Amino acid sequence: MAGLHVIRGDAEGSRRRPGAELASNPSLVTMSFSSVRLAGADPSSDTLQEWTVALMALDDDEDEVEIGCLRLYRLCDYTGYSRILAADEVSGDLLHIAETVLDGEAYSDAFEKAVEMPVGDLLILDEVVLARPWRGFRLGPVFAQEAIVRLQGGCCAVACAPGAGEPPADGREPTREEWRAAGMKIAALWQTIGFQPFKDGVYLHDTACDHDELLLARRADLDRLSAEYRSARC
C-alpha cells in the first residue's frame, strides 16, 4: 500500500490473545538500541539518523532469541542538508511522511498548528515487526512506546503512517477493503500510545503533551499479560 509504513504484529483479530498463549514472559523482553553510520562526514545520515531496536526474549532453554524489531528514524533540523532529499534516499514511505509534514524544508503551517512546540527534530516510527508467535497480544504499541520514550529527546513530534505490511498467514491475497480494515485496526492501536490523525495517512504523537497516563496504561497491559503467562504455568 503506497505511502504506508510496514507496521506488522497486532492486526490479526479484534480481540487480544490471552497471555497464557505467549511463548515466554513478556515482561522479560529486552530492547537493544543500535545506530550504525560512517565514521566520516555523511550529510545524509546526519540529517536522517536510523535506529534499530532488537526485541529479545528467553526461550525454553533460557537462551535469548530475537522475537522482533523496530526501526525508527530521526529527521534532524538545520543540518544544512535537505530533509526531503535525505528521506527520499531511504524510501518512498519516509519521503511521504517528510513531504506531509514539511513545506519545502520548513515545517508546514498545518504541522505547526497540530504540534504544541513545532521546533526541533522529528522522530519517525517506520517499522514494527513481531515474530508470528508474538502477534495478537497488542504488544506492538507497548514496545513502540518504550522505544519512543528513549529516543524522543529533542524531537517536537513522532510521526508514523500505520498500515498492514504483509498478507495473512494462509497466503490469501487480501482485498483492498481487507487491507484498509487491517490498517484501521493498527491505526487504532497506535492511538492508544498518543498518535492522532494528521494528514494523508500520517499520524502524529506530540512530544510536548503529557502522555504519562497512556504510558502507565500500556505498562499495566504488559503486567497483565505477564501475570496471565505466569498463572498458566503455576
Q: Name the amino acid, one letter, at 2.
A: A
Cβ atoms of 166 and 212 closer than 8 Å = no
Residue 209 is classified by DSSP as S
Q: Looking at residue 41, what is its pLDDT?
A: 83
Q: How far apart are CA 118 and CA 22, in angstroms?
A: 40
Residue 18 is classified by DSSP as P
Domains of the chain: 19-35+45-232 (3.40.630.30)
Q: Please give the angle made by the CA atoms of 124, 71 and 76, to the nearest 5 degrees.
A: 40
The proportion of the chain whose per-residue pLDDT surpasses 70, expressed as a percent, equals: 89
Q: How far apart are CA 11 and CA 74, in angstroms?
A: 26
Length of the chain, in residues? 234
Per-residue model confidence as pLDDT tens digits over 115-150: 999 999 999 999 999 999 999 999 999 999 999 999
Beta sheet of 64-75, edge-to-edge order: 30-34, 48-58, 64-75, 121-130, 155-160, 202-206, 196-199
Q: Is the pLDDT of residue 5 over 60?
A: no
Per-residue model confidence as pLDDT tens digits over 167-219: 555 566 677 787 777 778 888 989 999 999 999 999 999 999 999 999 999 99
27 or 169, higher pLDDT: 27
CA distances from 11 to 56, 98, 113, 209, 229 (A): 21, 26, 31, 27, 21
Q: Looking at residue 194, what is its pLDDT?
A: 96
